[in-house]
Amino acid sequence: MYPDNLLYTREHEWVEVSDNGTMAQVGITDYAQQQLGDVVFVELPEVGQKFAAGAQFGSIESVKAVSDLYCPLAGKVVQVNADLIDRPESVNQLAHETWIIELELEGKPGSRVGVERLLNAREYGELVESQ
Amino acid sequence: MNDTSATLRKTSLYSRHVAMGARMVSFGGWEMPVQYSSITEEHLAVRRAAGLFDVSHMGEIEIAGDDALAAVQRISTNDASSLEIGHAQYSVLSTKAGTFVDDLLVYRLADSHYLLVVNASCIESDFAWIQQNIQGIGDAMAVNTSSRYALIAVQGPRALAILQTLTEVELDRIGYYRFTTGEVASIRATISRTGYTGEDGFEVFVPSQGADRLWDALLSAGDGEGLRPAGLGARDTLRLEAAMRLSGQDVDDTTTVLEAGLGWTIGWDKPAFIGREALVRQRETGVTSKLVGFEMVGRGIARHGYRVLRDGEAVGRVTSGTRTPFLERAVGLAYVPREMAEPGTGLEIEIRDRPVEAKVVLLPFYKRDKG
């Protein structure tokens, strides 16, 4: 259910850290999209904006609800997924493949600061089970 | 949420909803299905084919007796004197200040017998308020009969054809806001051509114990017609597209019937009713704030409680807002100063601390093609 190549937060975001540890893509989990229902709007940050780990970087809205998006790792936004402006429903269709922002991670290249606080697929699966 | 579920009320169809995989939520003291599959899909099914709604949480209060009409006339704003047996009207329970206790439908069942259909979260308070306010009117008695009825709505362009397969009653002879009695799926029913979606359709009252059978029969009858069960989520987006007010949210005890744009529900020429003096006064002076429809121009979705800004100052508030599935536009209802109520007027809505451009538009957002 939850891919092993991704890391997860308790706020139901996923992160894919690049092999060299310098970049990361961020999205929301399948559990999060199910809870939200039909996603109709994603508020994206500006490219170049910097966020601390845990800071709000945007929001995602379904027909019924608004949910904040939190940055799993500290870094600078180098790319936003502009396809989501016209096709926000992609998040519902393929949550784990639909990235929202790409970050250049803070800290020395490869230092993976903050990664230890993220959950692996098994831990995240257990968190979802317990909800 | 588990600790409160014990105190939530359930309709007769609760087990059907759970079995169909609906997501259940608390609404006005009831545990109700918010969606079965997707709000968007359910909404579109109602616009294009048909949707099936359990609205048994709505309340039924009956008023009977020789002076029943006088009682109804006193407690509701619309003029019920011209209401014939088999006719229904939209009306308002108004406070002395002309604000909302609740909104409702008034059905005339017989000469001296009226049925009031009120909102789920207000059943007990409406009933107490009605009892108190019909005292001294003579022969008029109010009874809360909510638990006796289940109410199932079939809404959408295919609603008539689907319901017709289950009844001998000639449905196309029931006019809009008219009702009749007859058997549906061999269950004694009151069939009303009303709804809360902006589509043609029916609301069917049956004894609570018949609810499961009627629900199942309608689902089978709608198989192949595109009928889908629809939850409160779609009910809310559908009614908002049609600009129907939601009691407790768009209209409440802080907003008057005139401010809500529902002056047409006021029987100005009938004898005294509660709120009449305040409303007459407000009609003379004019309202200072008015409920309008708006559409977002900038990127963003307005939601209930967001502020309407002018030159950075809050001048109004959003009461309902969403991105509607059929029109695919971000729209909403808001109270704004009278001088900003003209269609075309620019507004700003504060969305997470940022002003986003919007404009006033004519209501309703969606009107069905009656062709």
Assess B50–A contact: CB distance below 8 Å, yes or no: no
Q: Which residues pair with A9 in a beta bridge?
A: none
ipTM of the shown complex: 0.83
Domain ranges of chain B: 2-56+148-241, 288-371
Q: What's the pLDDT score for residue B3?
A: 45
Q: Pick A7-107's CATH classification: 3.30.420.40, 3.40.50.300, 1.20.990.10, 2.40.50.100.
A: 2.40.50.100
Dist CA B347 CA A110 (whole Å) = 48
Interface of A with B (CB under 8 A): 37-38, 40-41, 43, 59, 61-64, 66, 85
Please name the residue of chain A whose CA is at the shortest distance from the CA of residue B2. A131
Residues A47/A101, Cβ–Cβ less than 8 Å: no
Mean pLDDT of B307-316: 93
B190 is written with which tokens? Answer: 């009151």
Q: What was the pLDDT predicted at B6?
A: 60
Q: What pLDDT is attached to residue B369? A: 86
8 Å CB contact of B233 and A59: no
Single pTM value for the model:
0.93
How many angstroms separate the CA of residue B229 from the nearest CA in chain A? 16
Neighboring chain A residues of B43 at a CB cutoff of 8 Å: 63
- Gap between the Cα atoms of A1 and B358, Å rounded: 41
Band of residue B2 on the pLDDT scale cut at 50, 70, 90: very low
Beta bridge partners of residue B251, listed in sequence order: B247
Check: CB of residue B100 under 8 Å from CB of residue B63: no
Q: Test B323 with A66 for CB contact under 8 angstroms.
A: no
* 8 Å CB contact of B38 and A38: yes
Q: Are B273 and B265 in contact (CB under 8 A)?
A: no
The angle formed by the CA atoms of residues B108, B203 and B201, to the nearest 5 degrees, is 115
Long-range contacts (CB closer than 8 Å, 24 or more residues apart) made by B311-315: B312/B355, B314/B350, B315/B340
Fold of B288-371: Elongation Factor Tu (Ef-tu); domain 3 (2.40.30)
- Whether B8 has a pLDDT exceeding 50, the answer reads yes
Cβ neighbors of B71 (< 8 A, separation 6 or more) are B63, B65, B134, B137, B140, B142
B4 pLDDT higher than 90:
no
pLDDT at B15: 97
Domain ranges of chain A: 7-107
How many inter-chain contacts (A to B, CB under 8 Å) are there? 38
Question: What would the DSSP string read from start to end of A100-112?
Answer: -EEEEESSSTT--
Residues (pLDDT < 50) of chain A are: none
* Local structure of residue B52 (DSSP, 8 states): E
Most B CBs within 10 Å, among A63, A84, A131, to test the B interface: A63
CATH topology of domain B2-56+148-241: Gyrase A; domain 2 (3.30.1360)
Pick B39's closest partner by Cβ from A64, A66, A85.
Answer: A64
Which pLDDT belongs to residue B5?
A: 52
Average pLDDT, rounded, for chain B: 96
Q: Give B231-281 pLDDT, tens digit per residue.
A: 999 999 999 999 999 999 999 999 999 999 999 999 999 989 999 999 999
Q: Tell me the per-residue pLDDT of B186-203, one tens digit each, with 9 for 90 and over.
A: 999 999 999 999 999 999
